[in-house]
């Protein structure tokens, strides 16, 4: 199985801050990576797929980059509605696996 | 607009079989490339992928749970059913179904999820 790790596990930030979250795969996955946002009690929402493609309807302040084993999600200017948990998922091979999540909370 | 909704029991006893139904609209599971997956999330924990069924009836399962899982589809009813046998308290989780992204094994959108508690 491909293990997904994320850092940091949590980050405290203020509105307007630039936030970067890292996801690492235990083996190369090319660009078969997605990022999701999840708010408490809600289902995850797809933000980024194929490492850097913005899902339709997602604000452009979200961006993704990386390939192989190392990936990043960047929120260029944090908005109040962005306080949530973010997780990555590899779609390179079965079993599909998710990262443990990074919580972005208010500083 | 694609929507999915999970339904099933909220409480099951240990050793029982869980049957969850995902009822969807806005797409057809007969269309090339389409799939529906099941993912679960224990309280306060990470997401765990369980199973995925494709338009051509190909099925994929989590190896760690494969012996306990069955995924099927009913295209006439726009439903996907997941059964999980021999339930254990560790299977307590919110279970989500989700639409497979058209070209990748990612998921969008997701159903609202249903919390299943395993307890005697």
Residue whose C-alpha is closest to residue A1's, from A76, A104, A102, A98: A98
> Hey, is B8 helix, strand or coil?
coil
Q: How far is A96 from chain B (nearest CA, A)?
A: 6
Write the CB contacts of A41 (distance below 8 Å, at least 6 apart in sequence). none
| Residue pair A102/A11 in contact by the 8 Å Cβ criterion | yes
Contacts of B96 in chain A (CB under 8 A): 43-44
Q: Taking the CB of residue A53, how many other CB atoms lie within 10 A of it?
A: 15
Average pLDDT taken over every residue of chain A: 97
For residue B91, what pLDDT is reported? 98
Contacts of B49 in chain A (CB under 8 A): 89, 95-98
The residues pairing with B51 across neighbouring beta strands, listed in sequence order, are: B38, B61
For chain B (120 residues), the mean pLDDT of every run of 10, in chain order, is: 97 98 97 96 97 97 98 97 98 98 93 98
For residue A52, what pLDDT is reported? 98
Touching check for B62 and chain A: CB below 8 Å? yes
**Token pair belonging to A86:** 């973010």
Q: Residues A82-97: what's their mean pLDDT?
A: 97
pLDDT band for position A106 (50/70/90)? Answer: confident
The whole-angstrom separation of Cα A23 and Cα A8 is: 9
pLDDT band for position A21 (50/70/90)? Answer: very high
Residue carrying structure tokens 């069955």: B70
Contacts of A50 in chain B (CB under 8 A): 104
Looking at residue A81, the DSSP 8-state letter turns out to be G
pLDDT value at A62 more than 90: yes
Strands B48-54, B35-41: pairing is: antiparallel
| Residue pair A100/A9 in contact by the 8 Å Cβ criterion | yes
Best to test chain A binding among B66, B107, B115 (most A CBs inside 10 Å): B107
Whether B96 and A44 lie within 8 Å, measured CB to CB? yes
pLDDT digit string (tens) for A28-39?
Answer: 999 999 999 999
Length of chain A (residues): 107
The whole-angstrom separation of Cα B31 and Cα A28 is: 31
For residue B40, what pLDDT is reported? 98
Write the CB contacts of A57 (distance below 8 Å, at least 6 apart in sequence). none
Rg of chain A in Å (alpha carbons): 13
């Amino acid at each position: 199985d491909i293990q997904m790790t994320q850092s940091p596990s949590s980050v405290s930030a203020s509105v307007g801050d630039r936030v970067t979250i890292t996801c690492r795969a235990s083996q190369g996955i090319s660009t078969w990576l997605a990022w999701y946002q999840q708010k408490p009690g809600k289902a995850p929402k797809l933000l980024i797929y194929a490492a850097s493609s913005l899902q339709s309807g997602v604000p452009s302040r979200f961006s993704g980059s990386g390939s192989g084993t190392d990936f990043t999600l960047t929120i260029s200017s944090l908005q109040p509605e962005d306080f949530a948990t973010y997780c990555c998922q590899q779609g390179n091979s079965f079993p599909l696996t998710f990262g443990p999540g990074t919580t972005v909370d208010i500083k | 607009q694609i929507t999915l909704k999970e339904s099933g029991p909220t409480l099951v006893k240990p050793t029982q079989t869980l049957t969850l139904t995902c009822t969807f609209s806005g797409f057809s599971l007969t269309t090339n490339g389409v799939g529906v997956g099941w993912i679960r999330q224990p309280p306060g924990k990470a997401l765990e992928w369980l199973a995925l069924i494709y338009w051509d009836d190909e099925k994929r399962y989590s190896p760690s749970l494969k012996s306990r899982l069955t995924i099927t589809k009913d295209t006439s009813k726009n439903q996907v059913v997941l059964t999980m046998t021999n339930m254990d308290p560790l299977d307590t989780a919110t279970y989500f179904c989700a639409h497979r992204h058209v070209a990748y094994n990612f998921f969008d959108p997701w159903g609202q999820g249903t919390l299943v508690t395993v307890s005697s």
